[in-house]
Chain A
Amino acid sequence: MLLPKKTALASLPRRRLLQLAAIGAAAALLPACSDTTPEEAPAQGDHFPDIVLPGLDGRVAPLSAYANVALVVNFWATWCEPCRREMPDLEKLNALFRPEDLRVIGITVDSDANLAREFGMRLKLTFPLLSDSNQALSNSALRITGFPTTYLLRRDHSIASIIIGAREWAEPKMVDEIEQQLAVQRIAAV
């Protein structure tokens, strides 16, 4: 059963182990990288894509419907604990501004939109919730790697800043910052 012939390679077990390990690792990593396209994700200052996503209430809501309105676009999911925790603050933030000045928009990446809708109902969220369930936007177009990620968009929908991680949105300092960056004014005290 065993072949008596000893190849040259067989006498170098350590190097070959390394080679094999490298092949294995490369083979494992290849599929993970292969779907990357050369196109860059929009960064600070760029125009945010004019997305059209279904709302959790069933209506299709294009972002262009918010022409000349500054936007706080929050990507979240029900499996993301920090996202869930910042939701009430986003609701408060939304209430601080006139609809024609600033709106909060939540985009859920939950694959099960029902879970997100249930969550929105339980927290009595009033700002629009859209579903990006196959992550065409968050993963393919924006290359978001972690949640929550929030985009602050000026009135012309150019990106003022990209915020990774949860924040306390209704804190006075944060609201000041948003007012300054997006050139809008709150109507109620914090």
Chain B
Amino acid sequence: MIPEIGHLALILALALALVQGVLPIIGAARGNAALMALARPAARGQFVFVALAFACLAQAFLGNDFSVLYVAQHSNSQLPAHFRFAAIWGGHEGSLLLWTFILTIWTVAVTQFSKQLPEEMLARVVGVMGLVSVGFLLFMLFTSNPFDRLLPAALDGRDLTPMLQDPGLILHPPMLYMGYVGTSVAFAFAIAALLGGKLDAAWARWSRPWTTVAWIFLTLGIMLGSWWAYYELGWGGWWFWDPVENASFMPWLVTTALVHSLAVTEKRGAFKNWTVLLAIVAFSLSLLGTFLVRSGVLTSVHAFAVDPARGVFILAFLGIVVGGSLVLFAWRGPQVGLGGGFDIISRESMLLVNNVLLMVAAASVFLGTLYPLFMDALGFGKLSVGPPYFDAVFAPIMALAVFLMGAGPFARWKQSSATELLKKLWGWLLASVALAVIVIFAFRHWTAPIVGGVTLGFWALLSSLAYLVMRVREQNASGVWAKLRGTTRSTYGMLLAHFGIGIFILGVTLVKGYETTSEVVMRPEDMTTVGGYTFRFINAQEVTGPNYRGVRVAVEVTQNGTRVTTLYPEKRIYNVQTMNMTESAIDTGLFRDLYVALGEARSLDEWVVRIQHKPMVDWIWVGCLIMAFGGMLAVSDRRYRVPSRRRQPEAGALAMAAAKTS
């Protein structure tokens, strides 16, 4: 009975989504206040019903209702309860429900925090989000209903893929989806601006925090995914340029560009068209990512043939969203206007070049991800371009972008000069090179990419610090503390995010340049040395978990005779899917990880052991965390908390003030 309630709730949510998507937009076009006023209640009602559907599916999973096909396919009575809950989004249908649920959460958030928005704007924004929701609900109800029954019911479920049975599954997909779906808010604001034909500094200020929040979630989601892959796959890699990863990385790149472009639109009124276009592209890539990953089309074009209804729906939906919004852009874009001019060397131009670089990077990832798909479709056979392509194309583009990132904040709006920039920055540039040389001497081995990477990393760190020093000096207040307090949170946010990039680059470069791996056959009492640490195989013991059997090996780690830790890597066989899983054991440190994973067993006592010493690897994720924290600081800036409608006439003045303070 409960699954039927869930199904009915989805149908009712669809009805409300139609109301939310159509009537307020008509109301805004005709100036009909009654129709516009429908936006809020419809959005909240839709949220209630989608939440109800979500709760029903959760009940089916937690209550082991194997008469629901989706539950029978993705769960098992032996599965621990927290994984049974997370298994809701362990497959296609449930992921779509999670997507829609998160979309309604974002919509309700928009209705809640929109007191300063004019009614027409709100009606259009919420309306566009309603239309997106209509698409997803139709897709779910017609091709991917999570509540389909399985009759007669299965005795037990087929279990969740062992690879997904990890805390990573509980956190990573919801975070990533919060990011994906968050770009729909920026998209809705952009479409609303096109519909209304008005795009000013106030508009940018409204949509900017939403975009930044979406960016924060994308950053955290990708970070969690990378970390999860690192410890779960057992290879010690943290990024594989896998199509699924690329699908989340492309929206991140474009959203990063959008965050910066919005800054220009808010402060200088420039880049208006570009900002709108970026918002459309970011959301389109989020949609594309969701569908590509979920449809399985990336591993084979033939996935479409398995279920043509889904494929056709996806193509049609993408066509409507991308095509429709681009047509609207072509038609209304010219009315939005371009904004003020600026000099060839100015903060605007720096941001523009950075934006272009980020877009080129996104395009190259797009090409590398979809190229095999096109080749396969054209009958050239299956092939893959893989990491060599991405490393070769991506690294140089980003190196240039990061270099400009350090210099950009020092350039003045509208007009700046190269000599002035050079005068401010050459000392810091030299310092970056000097620090890089010191690091490389410490590691006693170098290649050109390492030198470049380390220099860039320090450049990102030092230029952020230098900018902070400059801003503090400029303050009128007396005392360092007062000066620090006088600097806005959005400035701190930006600096922290750039600082995080520096930490990230150092992590990536040093782990790529200086990691050591050894694969050895070990028996009890065997010893091997990797990266200055000695690893001793103590013993192997059989272990039994709630839904798996396995072997756990104890490896003692010592350095210069002192015991560091004992690691316990495991090899597991899960009962239902009889799949082999490697559980690596990691000793995490600020400057290095020790990573031990089991390969094949020669006998119970003799194992191929893969041991890795990974310097600075955790800086990769710490860097991402710092970036996300920078985003949070920026969002909490005082000017986004201007509470009420009465401030609107001052919007122009406020934008001027904001421009002056920076």
Chain A residues within CB distance 8 Å of chain B:
1-3, 5-7, 9-14, 16-17, 20-21, 23-25, 27-29, 31-32, 77, 79-83, 85, 109, 111-112, 114-115, 117-118, 121-122, 135, 138-139, 145-149, 163-167
B342 to chain A, nearest CB (A): 7
List, sorted by A's number, 6 A–B pairs whose CB atoms are closer than 8 Å: A1-B412, A11-B341, A24-B360, A28-B400, A118-B599, A135-B388
Q: How far is the CA of A109 from the CA of B356 in the complex (A)?
A: 32
Contact pick for A79, options B270, B340, B384, B396, CB 8 Å: B384
| Extra pairs beyond A20-B349, A82-B383, A118-B600 (15, CB < 8 Å) | A2-B413, A6-B341, A10-B342, A13-B341, A20-B352, A24-B352, A31-B399, A79-B384, A81-B382, A139-B392, A146-B371, A163-B381, A164-B375, A164-B383, A165-B382
With a cutoff of 8 Å between Cβ atoms, the chain A residues found around residue B240 in the complex are 79
Query: Is B610 an interface residue when CB atoms closer than 8 A count as contact?
Result: yes
> Given contacts A28-B360, A79-B387, A135-B388, is CB(A165)–CB(B353) below 8 Å?
no
Q: How far is the CA of A2 from the CA of B380 in the complex (A)?
A: 57
Q: How far is the CA of A77 from the CA of B237 in the complex (A)?
A: 15
Are B599 and A16 touching (Cβ within 8 A)?
A: no
Are A16 and B341 touching (Cβ within 8 A)?
A: yes
Are B360 and A29 touching (Cβ within 8 A)?
A: yes
Find the B residue at minimum CB distance from A23: B353
Chain B 129-166 interface 0/1 with A at a Cβ cutoff of 8 Å (1 = within) = 00000000000000000000000000000000000000
> Given contacts A12-B341, A16-B341, is CB(A21)–CB(B356) below 8 Å?
yes
B620 to chain A, nearest CB (A): 17
B379 to chain A, nearest CB (A): 9
Contact pick for B357, options A24, A118, A122, A166, CB 8 Å: A24
Find the A residue at minimum CB distance from B341: A10
B542 to chain A, nearest CB (A): 22
With a cutoff of 8 Å between Cβ atoms, the chain A residues found around residue B356 in the complex are 20-21, 24-25, 28
Q: How far is the CA of A77 from the CA of B240 in the complex (A)?
A: 12
> Given contacts A13-B341, A32-B392, A79-B387, is CB(A166)–CB(B353) below 8 Å?
no
Query: Is B299 an interface residue when CB atoms closer than 8 A count as contact?
Result: yes
> Given contacts A13-B339, A27-B400, is CB(A21)–CB(B382) below 8 Å?
no
With a cutoff of 8 Å between Cβ atoms, the chain A residues found around residue B299 in the complex are 81
Are A82 and B393 touching (Cβ within 8 A)?
A: no
Q: How far is the CA of A95 from the CA of B656 in the complex (A)?
A: 77
Are B384 and A83 touching (Cβ within 8 A)?
A: yes
Query: Is B385 an interface residue when CB atoms closer than 8 A count as contact?
Result: yes
Within 8 A of A (CB), among B301-321: none
Are B396 and A32 touching (Cβ within 8 A)?
A: yes
With a cutoff of 8 Å between Cβ atoms, the chain B residues found around residue A5 in the complex are 415
A42 to chain B, nearest CB (A): 19
Q: How far is the CA of A164 from the CA of B371 in the complex (A)?
A: 13
Are B385 and A145 touching (Cβ within 8 A)?
A: yes
Are B382 and A82 touching (Cβ within 8 A)?
A: yes
B405 to chain A, nearest CB (A): 13
B354 to chain A, nearest CB (A): 8
With a cutoff of 8 Å between Cβ atoms, the chain A residues found around residue B339 in the complex are 13
Are A166 and B383 touching (Cβ within 8 A)?
A: yes
A132 to chain B, nearest CB (A): 10
With a cutoff of 8 Å between Cβ atoms, the chain A residues found around residue B81 in the complex are none
Q: How far is the CA of A82 from the CA of B235 in the complex (A)?
A: 20
> Given contacts A25-B356, A139-B388, is CB(A146)–CB(B396) below 8 Å?
no
> Given contacts A139-B388, A146-B375, is CB(A16)–CB(B357) below 8 Å?
no
Find the A residue at minimum CB distance from B337: A13
Q: How far is the CA of A121 from the CA of B601 in the complex (A)?
A: 12
With a cutoff of 8 Å between Cβ atoms, the chain A residues found around residue B599 in the complex are 118
A118 to chain B, nearest CB (A): 6
Are B396 and A31 touching (Cβ within 8 A)?
A: yes
Q: How far is the CA of A14 from the CA of B382 in the complex (A)?
A: 43
B519 to chain A, nearest CB (A): 5
With a cutoff of 8 Å between Cβ atoms, the chain A residues found around residue B660 in the complex are 1
Are A32 and B393 touching (Cβ within 8 A)?
A: yes
Are A147 and B383 touching (Cβ within 8 A)?
A: yes
Q: How far is the CA of A3 from the CA of B387 in the complex (A)?
A: 47
Q: How far is the CA of A7 from the CA of B270 in the complex (A)?
A: 17
B652 to chain A, nearest CB (A): 15
Are A28 and B388 touching (Cβ within 8 A)?
A: no
Query: Is B547 an interface residue when CB atoms closer than 8 A count as contact?
Result: no
Within 8 A of A (CB), among B384-430: 384-389, 392-393, 396-397, 399-400, 412-415
Considering the complex of A and B, which 7 residue pairs feature the smallest CB-CB distances, nearest first?
Answer: A165-B381, A31-B396, A24-B356, A10-B341, A82-B382, A80-B384, A146-B383
A169 to chain B, nearest CB (A): 12
With a cutoff of 8 Å between Cβ atoms, the chain A residues found around residue B386 in the complex are 77, 79-80, 109, 147
With a cutoff of 8 Å between Cβ atoms, the chain B residues found around residue A111 in the complex are 387
Query: Is B488 an interface residue when CB atoms closer than 8 A count as contact?
Result: no
Q: How far is the CA of A21 from the CA of B343 in the complex (A)?
A: 14
Chain B 213-251 interface 0/1 with A at a Cβ cutoff of 8 Å (1 = within) = 000000000000000000000010100111000000000
Find the A residue at minimum CB distance from B662: A1
> Given contacts A13-B338, A21-B356, A146-B375, is CB(A112)–CB(B517) below 8 Å?
yes
Q: How far is the CA of A146 from the CA of B361 in the complex (A)?
A: 19
Find the B residue at minimum CB distance from A3: B415
Find the B residue at minimum CB distance from A85: B382
Task: Indicate the member of A1, A20, A139 with the most B CB atoms within 10 Å.
Answer: A20
Are B519 and A14 touching (Cβ within 8 A)?
A: no
Query: Is B344 an interface residue when CB atoms closer than 8 A count as contact?
Result: yes
B155 to chain A, nearest CB (A): 33
A73 to chain B, nearest CB (A): 16
With a cutoff of 8 Å between Cβ atoms, the chain A residues found around residue B274 in the complex are 17
Q: How far is the CA of A31 from the CA of B391 in the complex (A)?
A: 12
> Given contacts A28-B356, A31-B396, is CB(A13)–CB(B384) below 8 Å?
no
Are A114 and B610 touching (Cβ within 8 A)?
A: yes
Are A20 and B353 touching (Cβ within 8 A)?
A: yes
Query: Is B372 an interface residue when CB atoms closer than 8 A count as contact?
Result: yes
